[in-house]
């Protein structure tokens, strides 16, 4: 590992635990989410003397800690840091690591481990967390000698944030945490041999892509979270505006482009918008920017965009040609590749092509959307609740969603004016994500309103984190859309399994009483005449607030591309 400019040449004696905390400070860490235990106790003891420099948030479960770290990273753009002890503490991080890995979220997780001489003896709370987490981390490493701590942590932070971001886990034995050593100062890492986070961009492929786009009659841009991770929102906007092309997003790409931008044609995928799904199979050039052609976006691959020339821009070379064969693969950071494309593109007016999308949008609105956001039925809908949130936050809130029907409805109907506003579990689909992630999101962007939208299934997986809200006093708005079902599974059972509702009828506690037990104000609403007032009260309340909205039990999310179907076989009803 090569390094640059040392912060100090002074040699002093520190413990391994102190070196861990000095590394965090040098890397600009301000908040740590964690839960103490025996094997990490020396680090927590050292943390007692660092309380003025490092804020520690005591969560109620290690999974809540890592989801909070994800929420913090997603809204702040920084690396989330999480502490946990060995054994069950470490294994409780695995779901969050897998979630962060597939969603490219930068994390550094530090776990305590038993004394080095006990490794391999099945000591109390010993678990081989290195081999357990190898598939779900960008890198992991076990330290048994404190002298390794500064260089290993420098490498950990560098790997977590550079290139395609991701989670890193460092496991530190207890003896290394206690060990005194000559600490020469902290040196940030900016290069690792054989690791290329930002590849050299090949002009040949830029030129070929420009020629294809300029000649295209019906091009379509699809964009993902890579635009956000690359901090390339401005460059992306310039790219589509000069070329005049319609742009559609994956759920993790949502908010990279304002939702009311005239060239933003909506959401792709299983519950995406009608136009961009159908017209994916009619465009002549498909330009993918920072997205990975997930199966929920493509539907049947053998029927996906077969008529189109495909241009794929991605920082991770493993994504190019992985699912969809690219005619031109542009490996690079989109903050650098997009301006090169834009500079050479011809200015185009593609109003006629955009109008085709508008026609599909009108049909979708009349047959599907209008009855969801302005329902005439007695039952409340999830979509009307999101519409009212939109109207009262003017698209400026951070919205954190759990996983299920409410997630798809929120992603379809939420309005965003600025980037890093949509926080959700995309690739892994982790129920229980939203409540702790919303806590982290608020710490990551304390000046913004943060609304957690959660189903009655997901909230019951991590509702103990209400205790974290109580103890920190943080201001998070929690809106539970309660349909008294595990709604997404029930929808599939209704549509594809003859309404054989097998173990999806879930009962809930009295959420308002439960919130009050944690010192959090709350209310429950089931009548339309009270819905808007209840949402306004939630948003205006000084402090955290829990609002339960009782919605229709068997409402479904449409449009929908049934599994195993082409995106052009999308159903409106």
**pLDDT at residue 470 in the model:** 98
* CA dihedral over 483, 484, 486, 492, signed as positive or negative: negative
Given 125, 464, 471, 494, the catalytic residue: 125
Among 67, 14, 131, which Cα is nearest to 431's?
A: 67
Active site (annotated) includes residue 62: yes
Domains of the chain by range and CATH? 2-191 (3.40.50.970), 203-357 (3.40.50.1220), 380-550 (3.40.50.970)
Dihedral, 87, 90, 94, 100 alpha carbons, nearest 10: -170
Q: Are 422 and 412 in contact, with CB atoms under 8 Å apart?
A: no
Alpha carbon 553 to its chain centroid, in Å, reads: 28
**pLDDT at residue 573 in the model:** 84
Mean pLDDT, each 10-residue run in order, the chain (573 residues): 46 95 98 98 98 97 98 98 98 98 98 97 97 98 98 98 98 98 95 92 96 98 98 98 98 97 97 97 98 95 96 96 97 97 97 98 96 94 98 97 97 97 97 98 98 98 98 98 94 93 96 98 98 98 98 93 92 90
Give the Å distances, CA to CA, from 333 to 191, 197, 205, 385, 565: 16, 9, 14, 38, 33
**pLDDT at residue 419 in the model:** 98
DSSP-assigned letters across all residues of 445-470: STTS-EEEEEETTTHHHHGGGHHHHH
Report the alpha-carbon distance of residue 125 to residue 86 in Å, rounded: 6
Active site (annotated) includes residue 335: no
178 CB-side CA count, 13 A: 10
Among 52, 48, 102, 57, which Cα is nearest to 82's?
A: 57
Given 6, 12, 53, 124, the catalytic residue: 124
**pLDDT at residue 198 in the model:** 87
**pLDDT at residue 563 in the model:** 84
Q: What is the pTM of this model?
A: 0.96
Report the alpha-carbon distance of residue 561 to residue 568 in Å, rounded: 8
Token pair, residue 562, equals 């049934």
Report the alpha-carbon distance of residue 553 to residue 485 in Å, rounded: 7
DSSP class of residue 430 equals -
For the stretch 169-195, pLDDT in tens is 999 999 999 999 999 899 999 999 999
DSSP-assigned letters across all residues of 44-70: HHHHGGGTTT-EEEE-SSHHHHHHHHH
Active site (annotated) includes residue 174: yes
Given 138, 155, 174, 237, the catalytic residue: 174
DSSP-assigned letters across all residues of 238-270: HHHHHHT--EEE-TTTTTSS-TT-TTEEEE-ST
Active site (annotated) includes residue 408: no
Report the alpha-carbon distance of residue 66 to residue 429 in Å, rounded: 15
Given 488, 538, 550, 560, the catalytic residue: 488
Active site (annotated) includes residue 9: no
Report the alpha-carbon distance of residue 102 to residue 105 in Å, rounded: 8
Among 549, 228, 570, 564, which Cα is nearest to 412's?
A: 570
Element (H, E) at 286: strand 285-289
Name the CA radius of gyration of the chain, rounded: 24
Name every residue whose Cβ is closer than 8 Å to that of residue 353 and which is 6 or more positions away in sequence.
Answer: 217, 218, 219, 246
Report the alpha-carbon distance of residue 149 to residue 45 in Å, rounded: 17
DSSP class of residue 359 equals H
**pLDDT at residue 10 in the model:** 58
Report the alpha-carbon distance of residue 231 to residue 336 in Å, rounded: 10
**pLDDT at residue 11 in the model:** 74
Among 406, 224, 255, 414, which Cα is nearest to 324's?
A: 224
Report the alpha-carbon distance of residue 267 to residue 247 in Å, rounded: 9
Q: Strand 12-15 vs strand 180-183: parallel, antiparallel, or unpaired?
A: antiparallel
Report the alpha-carbon distance of residue 466 to residue 485 in Å, rounded: 22
């Amino acid at each position: 590992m090569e390094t640059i400019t040392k912060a100090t040449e002074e040699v002093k004696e520190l413990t391994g635990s102190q070196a861990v905390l000095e590394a965090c400070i040098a890397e600009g860490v301000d908040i740590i989410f964690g839960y103490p235990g025996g094997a990490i106790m020396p680090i927590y003891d050292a943390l007692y003397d660092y309380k003025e420099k490092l804020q520690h948030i005591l969560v109620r479960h290690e999974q809540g800690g890592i989801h909070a770290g994800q929420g913090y990273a997603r809204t702040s753009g920084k690396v989330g840091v999480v502490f946990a002890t060995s054994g069950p503490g470490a294994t409780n991080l695995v779901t969050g690591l897998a979630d962060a890995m597939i969603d490219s979220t930068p994390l550094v997780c530090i776990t305590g481990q038993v004394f080095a001489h006990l490794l391999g003896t099945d000591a109390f709370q010993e678990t081989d967390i290195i081999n357990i987490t190898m598939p779900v981390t960008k890198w992991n490493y076990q330290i048994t000698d404190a002298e390794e701590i500064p260089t290993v942590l420098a490498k950990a932070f560098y790997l977590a944030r550079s290139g395609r971001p991701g989670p890193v886990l460092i496991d530190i034995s207890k003896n290394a945490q206690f060990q005194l050593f000559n600490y020469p100062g902290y040196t940030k890492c900016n290069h690792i041999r054989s690791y290329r986070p930002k590849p050299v961009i090949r002009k040949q492929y830029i030129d070929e892509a420009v020629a294809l786009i300029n000649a295209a009659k019906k091009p379509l841009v699809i964009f993902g979270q890579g635009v956000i991770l690359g901090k390339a929102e401005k460059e992306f906007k310039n790219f589509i505006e000069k070329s005049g092309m319609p742009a559609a997003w994956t759920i993790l790409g949502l908010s990279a482009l304002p939702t009311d931008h005239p060239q933003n044609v909506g959401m792709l995928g299983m519950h995406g918008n009608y136009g961009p799904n159908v017209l994916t199979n009619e465009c002549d050039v498909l330009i993918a920017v920072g997205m990975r052609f997930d199966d929920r976006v493509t539907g049947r691959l053998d029927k996906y965009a077969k008529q189109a020339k495909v241009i794929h821009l991605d920082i991770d070379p493993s994504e190019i040609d992985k699912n969809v064969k690219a005619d031109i693969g542009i490996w690079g950071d989109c903050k650098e590749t997009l301006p090169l494309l834009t500079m050479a593109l011809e200015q185009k007016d593609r109003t006629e092509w955009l109008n085709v999308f508008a026609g599909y949008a009108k049909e979708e609105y009349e047959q599907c959307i209008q009855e969801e956001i302005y329902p005439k039925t007695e039952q409340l809908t999830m979509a009307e609740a999101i519409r009212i949130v939109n109207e009262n936050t003017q698209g400026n809130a951070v919205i954190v969603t759990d996983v299920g029907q409410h997630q798809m409805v929120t992603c379809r109907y939420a309005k965003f004016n600025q980037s890093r506003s949509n926080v959700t579990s995309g690739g892994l689909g982790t129920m229980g994500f939203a409540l702790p992630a919303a806590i982290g999101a608020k710490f990551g962007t304390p000046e913004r309103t943060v609304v957690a939208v959660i189903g009655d299934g997901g909230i019951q997986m991590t509702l103990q984190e209400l205790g974290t809200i109580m103890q920190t006093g943080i201001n998070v708005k929690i809106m539970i859309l309660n349909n008294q079902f595990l709604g997404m599974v029930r929808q599939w059972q209704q549509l594809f399994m003859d309404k054989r509702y097998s173990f999806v009828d879930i009962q809930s506690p009295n959420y308002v009483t439960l919130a009050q037990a944690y010192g959090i104000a709350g209310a429950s609403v089931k009548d339309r005449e009270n819905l808007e007032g209840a949402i306004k009260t939630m948003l205006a309340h000084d402090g955290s607030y829990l609002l339960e909205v009782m919605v229709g039990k068997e409402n479904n999310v449409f449009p929908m591309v049934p599994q195993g179907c082409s995106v052009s076989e999308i159903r409106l009803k």
